[in-house]
Homo-oligomer: A and B are copies of this chain.
């Protein structure tokens, strides 16, 4: 039987709130077994860009990463956010090591090809380096990834953190029974968006189709759940979606997704 590995993704909403982040990092530190953290960015990068007079271009809700924006992202996500998370985890007796995908060549990507839109220095993930990541895990380290990858030719690339988390889970599933946790602002997939406790506790392939037909899963949840089933179809054991209380599973309400 394979050993268990937990991969937890947190988004900007947790990172931006000092108290939420401290609570989350405390819970994460207490999680037993091997684990990996993937963190998104949030508004800090946009705020720094504004202060520096760099315009953030958005097309269809997606950020265009030009050269100056990439510098800001590398400073904020790869520097300020990543190193402060690592220092706080260390204070919680969690032996964290902060990484981008360039570090140890852990996440290889390529610049998104230009079709109708040029996303600039945005990276699409080719794969992860399970051997190196595993070497860190068996050394007792807890990898903490920011959402930056590289193309192996010296170019850093801005990459979606949800995608990094799912590709990480997929890539590690050959070695471990991998559970992927998506922490976000809600308690899980909701039957009624107006009712925060109306959490669908379990979703599988069949009920997913029913929820889609009933249009209960729509908007922002659609790509999230597509990502989840993509991971499950590639041998990830289980995906959980919920807020930061999810990491204390004895009491928490959250959504578990399996095939």
For chain A residues 64-103, which have a beta carbon within 8 Å of chain B?
A: 71, 74-80, 82-84, 86-88, 90-91, 95-100, 102-103
Q: How many residues of chain A are within 8 Å of chain B by beta carbon?
A: 41
Say yes or no: A83 contacts B87, CB within 8 Å: no
Say yes or no: A105 contacts B90, CB within 8 Å: yes
**One of B75, B79, B80, B102 near A86 (C-beta < 8 A):** B102
Q: Does A132 contact B (CB under 8 A)?
A: yes
Q: How many copies does the complex hold?
A: 2
- What is the minimal beta-carbon distance from A142 to any residue of chain B, in angstroms? 9
A200 partner residues in chain B, CB cutoff 8 A: none
Dominant secondary structure at the A interface:
helix
A87 partner residues in chain B, CB cutoff 8 A: 102, 150, 154-156
**One of B51, B75, B98 near A103 (C-beta < 8 A):** B98
Q: Does A148 contact B (CB under 8 A)?
A: yes
Say yes or no: A90 contacts B102, CB within 8 Å: yes
Q: How far is the CA of A79 from the CA of B83 in the complex (A)?
A: 9
**One of B98, B104, B148 near A95 (C-beta < 8 A):** B104
- What is the minimal beta-carbon distance from A48 to any residue of chain B, in angstroms? 8
A135 partner residues in chain B, CB cutoff 8 A: 135, 139, 141
Q: How far is the CA of A48 from the CA of B135 in the complex (A)?
A: 36
**One of B51, B74, B82, B95 near A80 (C-beta < 8 A):** B74
A113 partner residues in chain B, CB cutoff 8 A: none
Chain B residue nearest in CB terms to A141: B104
Q: How far is the CA of A83 from the CA of B71 in the complex (A)?
A: 10
For chain A residues 92-123, which have a beta carbon within 8 Å of chain B?
A: 95-100, 102-105
A104 partner residues in chain B, CB cutoff 8 A: 95-97, 141
Q: How far is the CA of A219 from the CA of B153 in the complex (A)?
A: 41
Residues of A that sit less than 8 Å from B by CB: 48, 51-52, 71, 74-80, 82-84, 86-88, 90-91, 95-100, 102-105, 132, 135-136, 139, 141, 148, 150, 152-156
Q: Which 9 A-B pairs have the closest CB atoms?
A: A79-B79, A75-B75, A91-B154, A135-B139, A78-B79, A75-B79, A87-B102, A97-B103, A97-B104
Could you write out 12 A-B pairs with CB less than 8 Å apart?
A: A74-B79, A78-B79, A79-B79, A79-B83, A83-B102, A90-B152, A90-B154, A95-B104, A96-B102, A98-B100, A98-B103, A136-B139
